[in-house]
Amino acid sequence: AATGAAASVGRLLGNSYSPIEAFNENGLVVHFGFSKNAMDASQTTIHATYRNNTPVAMDDFVFQVAVPKYLLLKLLPPSSSRIEPNGVVTQDFVLTNTQQGSKGLALRVKINYTQAGAPVNIPVVSVANFPAGL
């Protein structure tokens, strides 16, 4: 069962898909919540929440997403490029699965930001622990 911020995201979305923790390193925690398009089962919106659990702001925050060829990606802008200490930034992206039912969601993420004047470049991380049915 999801707890904390992930559970809150799930309740806010009002859906039956459990949120996941996609990344947790160096004080940056990324949760994904999910909603499906009621008119198009192949379309999933991922509601990303980026939490800075450090006492220093994360500036110039960029979250990059790469998907396999069978997925179409529409990445919407984040709520801010700065994550305050113990703060949260949100971002949505829409995935359309052209092989819905035969292949599930999978993606790779790359994260860059500056903290205390030093660049932080997190190498590519694969995310594949999506709830069934997406």
Q: What is the DSSP pairing of strand 71-75 with strand 88-97?
A: antiparallel
First to last CA, the chain: 18
Q: What is the pLDDT of residues 44-100, one digit of tens each?
A: 999 999 999 999 999 999 999 999 999 999 999 999 999 999 999 999 999 999 998
Residue 46 near residue 15 (C-beta atoms within 8 A): no
Residue 101, pLDDT score:
85
pLDDT score, position 76: 95
pLDDT of residue 89: 97
Stated pTM of the model: 0.85
How does the average pLDDT of the chain come out, rounded? 88
